[in-house]
């Protein structure tokens, strides 16, 4: 007969459950918007992006922070490139960088993606997360206390990064030069450029 192993020495399988929140933000040198949580299970299609995230969340925040004159930058997500979204932005923001001149899959030239998000993530996970509401509260607290100087430094990198992207693609695609001329014009008053994105933060529960 085999030897009996005490129960406390048995290796027990533990179940892991991952939960996450999706957060939408925008930043500039004049300040940052609130952290807006996207409802669980929501598909961020063009309509939701326009009517909820832009119209009810980001644009009102930006208006309170900087007044009437600003440039809006977004990434190349499908909901951002939709014709109705472009028309909405043409009608509702003073200036924005249109999808036709913005390269797809380019987090290396969005300040939120290349600097701000990682700093927020580091702060959020500094202590263990014990539940979904705890995660949301941590995001709110860490976002509110995020140093504006960190955001400013990230935005200061924007113009040099644009030049690097154009140099790397020189001779390959003409629209990179259109991108540079467009963004350089906007960067003359980039204090009021609002870079926006949304991203996931998650935690794992072990039982």
Q: Note the pLDDT of residue 160.
A: 82
Q: Note the pLDDT of residue 207.
A: 33
| Total number of domains constituting the chain | 1
Residue 50, pLDDT above cutoff 60: yes
Q: Note the pLDDT of residue 138.
A: 92
The residue with tokens 């009996």 is 4
Average pLDDT taken over every residue of the chain: 77
Q: Is residue 5 part of a domain?
A: no
Q: Note the pLDDT of residue 107.
A: 73
What is the domain extent for residue 194?
A: 16-206
Q: Is residue 144 part of a domain?
A: yes
Residue 176, pLDDT above cutoff 70: no
pLDDT in tens, 113-139: 888 888 999 999 898 888 889 989 999
17-26, 97-106, 145-154: the lowest-pLDDT one: 97-106
Q: Is residue 110 part of a domain?
A: yes
More confident of the two residues 166 and 178: 166
Q: How far apart are CA 95 and CA 55, in angstroms?
A: 16
pLDDT in tens, 7-38: 554 444 444 456 788 888 888 888 899 999 98
Average pLDDT over residues 191-198: 60
Q: Is residue 173 part of a domain?
A: yes
Average pLDDT over residues 82-96: 91
**For residue 122, what is the domain's CATH number?**
3.30.420.10
More confident of the two residues 188 and 167: 167
Strands (E), the chain: 16-28, 31-32, 36-38, 71-73, 95-96, 193-206
The residue with tokens 């440039």 is 71
Q: Is residue 127 part of a domain?
A: yes
Q: Is residue 131 part of a domain?
A: yes
Q: Note the pLDDT of residue 46.
A: 93
Q: Is residue 25 part of a domain?
A: yes
End-to-end, the C-alpha distance of the chain in Å comes to 33
Model confidence band, residue 6 (pLDDT cutoffs 50, 70, 90): low
Q: Is residue 168 part of a domain?
A: yes
């Amino acid at each position: 007969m085999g030897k009996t192993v005490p129960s406390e020495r048995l290796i027990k399988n533990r179940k892991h459950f991952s939960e996450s929140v999706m957060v939408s933000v925008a930043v500039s040198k004049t300040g940052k918007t609130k952290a807006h949580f996207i409802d669980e299970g929501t598909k961020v299609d063009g309509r939701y992006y326009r009517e909820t995230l832009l119209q009810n969340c980001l644009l009102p925040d930006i208006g309170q922070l900087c007044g009437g004159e600003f440039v809006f930058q977004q990434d190349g997500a499908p909901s951002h490139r939709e014709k109705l979204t472009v028309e909405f932005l043409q009608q509702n923001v003073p200036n924005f960088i249109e999808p036709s001149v913005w390269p797809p899959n380019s987090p290396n030239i969005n300040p939120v993606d290349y600097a701000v998000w990682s700093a927020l993530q580091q702060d959020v996970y500094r202590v263990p997360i014990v539940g979904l509401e705890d995660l949301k509260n941590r995001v709110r607290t860490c976002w509110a206390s995020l140093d504006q100087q960190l955001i400013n430094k990230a935005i200061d990198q924007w113009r040099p990064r644009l030049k690097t992207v154009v140099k790397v693609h020189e001779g390959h695609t003409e629209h990179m030069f259109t991108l540079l001329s467009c963004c350089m014009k906007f960067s003359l008053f980039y204090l009021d450029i609002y870079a926006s994105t949304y991203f996931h933060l998650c935690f794992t529960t072990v039982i």
